[in-house]
Structure 1
Amino acid sequence: MNEQVPLTLADWRAAYLAGARPAELLAARLAHVQAHSPREAWIRLATPDEVQAQAGALQARLDAAGGDLTPLLAELPLFGVPFAVKDNIDVAGVPTTAACPAFAYTPGTDAGTVARLRAAGAVWLGKTNLDQFATGLVGARSPYGQPASTFDASRVSGGSSSGSAVAVARGDVAFALGTDTAGSGRVPAGFNNIVGLKPTPGRVSSSGVVPACRSLDCVSVFALTVDDAAEVLAVMEGEDATDAYSRFVPGPAQLPATLRIGVPAQPVLDATHEAAWQQALAQARALGHTLVPLDFAPLHAVAELLYGGPWVAERHAAVQALLDSQPEAFDPTVRAVITQALRFSATDAFRGQYTLRAAQQASAAWWQQVDVLMVPTSPGHPSFVQLQADPIGANSRLGTYTNFVNLLGWSALALPAGFTSQGLPAGITFIGPANTDAALARLGQGWQQALALPLGATDRPCPADAPPPLRAPATEATLPIAVVGAHLSGMPLNGQLTERGATLREATHTAPLYRLFALPGTVPPKPGLQRVAEGGAAIAVEVWDVPLRHVGSFLALIPPPLGLGSLQLADGRVVHGFICEGHALAAATDVTHFGGWRAYVAALKARSA
């Protein structure tokens, strides 16, 4: 691929900062994908009109900011960056098929993750292929075709997030969303020489995702670099009141400089992958870490619960109605896997829960012996011929080092680690306890820089001097605070937030219950927001995540008649936000009709120009 074609987030930002227009750059990228990307990687590409609508909205935001993208990046860190969405994740107005045409439906809203990405300026370019109902680790159980590894057309791409991994490895998109229940966000990364970030269960919303195992599902991220995957996670992560399994807990920023890394004492590996695994072990030692051989038998026993235990009933619960009415709509192997649920009773389900809870308690002791685990992402890389000869066995083997992770509530990061003598990628995965997502990303950044492998299946070298990400996964507790005036991005007092490490969560509006006033005599000029019983409007606000340890010092800077109170947002959520004492509004100017302070200030500047 041409050196000038944007691949990473930094590449795309650089292109826009240099003056490229979203409409032109994104149209060119879509045309390239239409002409050159393997069709079986995609279930539906965005139309030129859909891409142009997204590009046009971004251009309007840029024009309103006077054409200067730099301050706008605080609000839109993914400005104009194309991404792909696995087709079991909702994009508003676009059919979700889960690789089963008979199941297809058209959602009215974006999935929680997609909504946050689009609010940050990202542009969806298409819906990608997958193992039907995300049931598989091979990527070949789909009526829309069988994507192949980008390194060998005779071998599987990995799944279930097959198309997403292929699209990223080729450089078609900067990043893509997958889902991960048994390893679907990691195995395809290993087979395509890319990064696969699987968050701690609950860190990222699963609303708008067709469930596989609803209690275990994670939305995952594929990217060419760890920096990019971590930045996308930072945009997506956080509590979601619409997801009953949402449980966001920030974790440590980094691990010790010298790690105790647990590795399988007796690794399960194909002969073709043994040399690559030994090279990965040598690399870990070269980075100064200590390897601790461990008996993985307890983890393999946990892994057996996912398909050999009652958790398969969760897959049945998600598709029971269609399975009962149209069993022929299912891929035969997928149907065979899901109908195993009928062997289990409610009693079996509780027995499985008891077994898992005991394993979770026992496995906690692992983190007293080691800081992280390092495993082969997969034992080997099957061909389509091998898969056809043993569809279930070949698939099951791929879950050797992945199936137990979500059951135990852990986080994981799949990374490129070199190549076999056959020229196939041989990835490794770092696994950490719950909520170590940010720390694993820091570890992965160092690993990727040290190996300096090419990015995906492109000929682009891993960047050695990439600019720092604009956002990083949260590492401490924060309080969301809605700002309405001088603290908005690019406004005079925004530095009071950024110097405290606050990060912009979203730009949104209040519920239509407020009026906005320009307060007289304030320096810098400030607005006052008042809730009213009638005649209210929706007012533009930004919600910033302020570290709890800095909330007190931030409050101390707020002068009367302003203060923090409860503010209702457009979607019904209530957050802390700026409000104004009523007595101060008597001499203030009502500017509600501008819809927000930024628009009012822009109108004043235009009037005085």
Structure 2
Amino acid sequence: MSLPNMLQITPLLSAYRTGTLTPTNMVHDVIARIDSYTTQDPAVWISRVPAEKLLARAAELEKQAATDLPLYGIPFAVKDNIDVAGLPTTAGCPAFAYEPQESAEVVRRLEAAGAILIGKTNLDQFATGLVGMRSPYGQPHCVFNPEYVSGGSSSGSAVAVAAGLVSFALGTDTAGSGRVPAAFNNIVGLKPSRGVLSTYGLVPACESLDCISVFAGSTADAWEVEQIAAAPDARSPYSRALDVRPLPLTTFRFGVLKKEDQFFDGNAANAALYARAIHLLEQIGGTPVELDFAPLKETAALLYSGPFVVERLAAIKDFYNTHRQDMDPTVGAIIDGAKNYTATDVFEGIYRQHSLQQVAQRMWADFDIMLLPTAPRIVTKQEVMEQPIAANSLLGAYTNFVNLLDMAACAVPAGFAPDGLPFGVTFIAPAFTDKDLAVLAGRFHHALGEAVGLTRTDKPVSKEADTTAPNNRVLLAVVGAHLKGFPLHWQLEQEHAVLRNTTRTAPDYRLFALPNATPPKPGLVREQGFEGNGLEVEVYELDAAGFGRFVASVPQPMSIGRITLEDGKEVCGFLCSEAVARSGTDITETGGWRYYMQTR
């Protein structure tokens, strides 16, 4: 099989399942790609898993069926402030390096899902910066022009995805490090809600704000990785469960910058691309609403120009006290600034942060999401060398406030300027809206019509449109007790069902909590003329025999019929006798069974 330039997850899984690709083939191809790209940019990787270990991992996977694991044979990379057993963790500082005894929780979960770890990528030292220039291991460059920065601090991770070396990569995001590099390299950067991905095994930058983030070629891939990696973890101080909250997906309001707040540092082309992005999102169903950027700008200043810099010192205090001379000069100077603040200053900064969170919370009454530029413009390496602090501040103009205000964000490409350099926008919404935020950002990305990554030959894969199954396999949508984590999910597991995607029904369905059901379950009914927001369903793939056994076990008043999804495609799914369903409680407004059960 001839592999695509961008190693997106869905095509690779399809190739594994049809037998046209094996993990061993994939490993050989990835090694060759990395070796070739290293001649253009030798600064992407800090350490790599030896070839013999990669091939052994591939051989072990080949003992299992490709349908058994959701990330079977998918290659990925990890930013080198995240622990991987068997590889050193450097955080971009050789004097700091140590050998972890176990992998970070997110790495463990992804490998358990079948993914193949390729290596660890370069970063701005101690994840301090948005430029990708503060590393003794070299400076990865923008994949489109070596004179321009890759963006940081997750520089190597973004380049590894954009260059087609891995399917996805983990970064981290405190001030925008999971978003700015995505914009500068024409890929997706998904910044989860704080605490959703465990930070156990992460060298912190600001532990109260840090998020492990995901770079990928599409929002569908990024969300797939997030939901597999997400889990509460008592070892992670700020861990939270992914309490998924819906967003309106058919018609919605989106906050945009007023003309006087639009700052592109003189780059008229990026200003035009932002205007085009607003127009495109209107065509998808959005209504633009001007927002007040002043409280967001004030919040952003707290991170580097205020007392929150003290938390960066707290993260590496012992090392800083004994090895200050071994640090990058700019990184060291930033952390030196922590000495200018007192404990009183820190608490006053926290109080102001929480006051601004209240202001930001009220903003959501005016719109459902924000659409902002990811960065005003890309900068050259020469600019960073001449003005390292100013250049970094420029790149964080639209990103620094997001974690301080407890928001989720998804950065996507938004076109190219006439000089051939990319521009990106970021979708921002309240915490726990990660899934629907990725859906909306993905629709925008597809409507843009641009291919992703360096080669710009492969368009982003949409799992919303992925509603066809290979021969002898059936797609089944489940809406209630068979959802992942619910009492009857084991019936799907015993038939080796594979989760293909999480989506919604068409808007004309209602959901009812059935009376006297054990275990509790809902009934789905279609109502002609009803216009809701659709209901969450998980779509699973089963072989024909397994589907037959599953259907035979379905009790009355439930039945299996055809369900129309929000993209207009039909799959098999659970339906219920209308009379029985309507004898229960109408829970349509909750958005789905999972949300309803969380509020009981």
TM-score band, normalised by the shorter chain?
Answer: 0.7 to 0.9
Aligned amino acid, residue 192 of structure 1: N
Query: Within the alignment, does 1:109 sit opposite 2:66 as a pair?
Result: no
Give the equivalent residue in structure 2 for 1:468.
466
Aligned amino acid, residue 343 of structure 1: N
- 1:459 Cα shift? 3.1
Count of residue correspondences: 497
Aligned amino acid, residue 450 of structure 1: A
Q: Which of 348, 351, 357 is the equivalent residue of 1:360?
A: 357
Distance 1:451 1:281 in 2: 11
Query: Could you report, residue by residue, the CA deviation over 1:175-220 in whole angstroms, capped at 9, with x for unpaired residues?
Result: 0000000000000000001000001101111111000000000000
Aligned amino acid, residue 22 of structure 2: R
Give the conservation status (yes or no) of the 8 Å contact 1:255–1:443: no
Aligned amino acid, residue 315 of structure 1: R
Paired residues for 1:307-326 under 5 Å: 307-326=304-323
Distance 2:389 2:516 in 1: 57
Distance 1:476 1:220 in 2: 30
Give the equivalent residue in structure 2 for 1:267.
262
The SS at the match of 1:413 is strand
Q: Which of 119, 122, 140 is the equivalent residue of 1:126?
A: 119
- 1:554 Cα shift? 6.2
Query: Within the alignment, does 1:145 sit opposite 2:138 as a pair?
Result: yes
- 1:449 Cα shift? 1.3
Give the equivalent residue in structure 2 for 1:28.
29
Distance 1:476 1:268 in 2: 49
Paired residues for 1:90-489 under 5 Å: 90-265=83-258, 266-272=261-267, 273-463=270-460, 468=466, 480=485, 487=490
What's the Cα RMSD here?
Answer: 3.1
Change (3 A) 1:36 1:550: farther
Change (3 A) 1:186 1:46: same
Distance 2:333 2:398 in 1: 23
- 1:282 Cα shift? 2.0
Give the equivalent residue in structure 2 for 1:61.
64
Change (3 A) 1:59 1:552: farther
Distance 2:83 2:407 in 1: 25
Distance 1:156 1:323 in 2: 27
- 1:551 Cα shift? 13
Give the conservation status (yes or no) of the 8 Å contact 1:187–1:398: yes
- 1:51 Cα shift? 0.6
- Identity percentage over the alignment? 45
Query: Could you report, residue by residue, the CA deviation over 1:496-519 in whole angstroms, capped at 9, with x for unpaired residues?
Result: x999x99xxxxxxxxxxxxxxxxx
Distance 1:361 1:256 in 2: 25
Distance 2:147 2:169 in 1: 23
Give the conservation status (yes or no) of the 8 Å contact 1:412–1:432: yes
Distance 2:5 2:282 in 1: 36
Change (3 A) 1:408 1:116: same
The SS at the match of 1:176 is strand
Query: Within the alignment, does 1:87 sit opposite 2:80 as a pair?
Result: yes
- 1:429 Cα shift? 0.3
Query: Could you report, residue by residue, the CA deviation over 1:361-389 in whole angstroms, capped at 9, with x for unpaired residues?
Result: 11111000111111100011110111111
Give the conservation status (yes or no) of the 8 Å contact 1:250–1:477: no
Give the conservation status (yes or no) of the 8 Å contact 2:132–2:151: yes
The SS at the match of 1:261 is strand
Distance 2:345 2:481 in 1: 39
Give the conservation status (yes or no) of the 8 Å contact 1:27–1:51: no
Give the conservation status (yes or no) of the 8 Å contact 1:40–1:145: yes
Distance 1:299 1:167 in 2: 31
Distance 1:465 1:157 in 2: 26
Aligned amino acid, residue 174 of structure 1: S
> Which stretches in structure 1 are left out of the alignment for 5+ residues?
63-68, 503-548, 558-609
Aligned amino acid, residue 136 of structure 1: G
Give the conservation status (yes or no) of the 8 Å contact 1:93–1:106: yes
Aligned amino acid, residue 280 of structure 1: A
- 1:410 Cα shift? 0.4
Change (3 A) 1:404 1:287: same
Aligned amino acid, residue 168 of structure 1: V
Distance 2:517 2:114 in 1: 31
Aligned amino acid, residue 393 of structure 2: S
Give the conservation status (yes or no) of the 8 Å contact 1:177–1:220: yes
- 1:280 Cα shift? 1.4
- 1:328 Cα shift? 1.6
Give the conservation status (yes or no) of the 8 Å contact 1:180–1:219: yes
Aligned amino acid, residue 17 of structure 2: L
Change (3 A) 1:477 1:238: farther
- 1:291 Cα shift? 1.4
Change (3 A) 1:120 1:554: farther
Change (3 A) 1:295 1:384: same
Give the conservation status (yes or no) of the 8 Å contact 1:6–1:12: no
Query: Could you report, residue by residue, the CA deviation over 1:228-264 in whole angstroms, capped at 9, with x for unpaired residues?
Result: 0111111011211211100124223442422211111
Give the conservation status (yes or no) of the 8 Å contact 2:190–2:222: yes
Distance 2:311 2:388 in 1: 21
Aligned amino acid, residue 454 of structure 1: A
Give the equivalent residue in structure 1 for 2:472.
none
Aligned amino acid, residue 33 of structure 2: H
Change (3 A) 1:35 1:471: farther
Query: Could you report, residue by residue, the CA deviation over 1:112-149 in whole angstroms, capped at 9, with x for unpaired residues?
Result: 11111001000011100000000000001000000110
- 1:490 Cα shift? 5.3
Change (3 A) 1:553 1:130: farther
Give the equivalent residue in structure 2 for 1:18.
18
The SS at the match of 1:423 is coil
Distance 1:220 1:99 in 2: 18
Give the conservation status (yes or no) of the 8 Å contact 1:254–1:443: no
Q: Which of 39, 42, 65 is the equivalent residue of 2:42?
A: 39
The SS at the match of 2:236 is coil
- 1:475 Cα shift? 12
- 1:321 Cα shift? 1.2
Give the conservation status (yes or no) of the 8 Å contact 2:46–2:80: yes
TM-score, normalised on structure 1? 0.76
Distance 1:323 1:185 in 2: 25
Compare 376-385 and 269-278 and name the one that shifted more: 269-278
The SS at the match of 2:411 is strand
Distance 1:477 1:298 in 2: 44
Distance 1:267 1:398 in 2: 14
The SS at the match of 1:375 is strand
Aligned amino acid, residue 366 of structure 2: Q
- 1:405 Cα shift? 0.3
- 1:54 Cα shift? 1.6
Query: Within the alignment, does 1:48 sit opposite 2:51 as a pair?
Result: yes
The SS at the match of 1:61 is coil
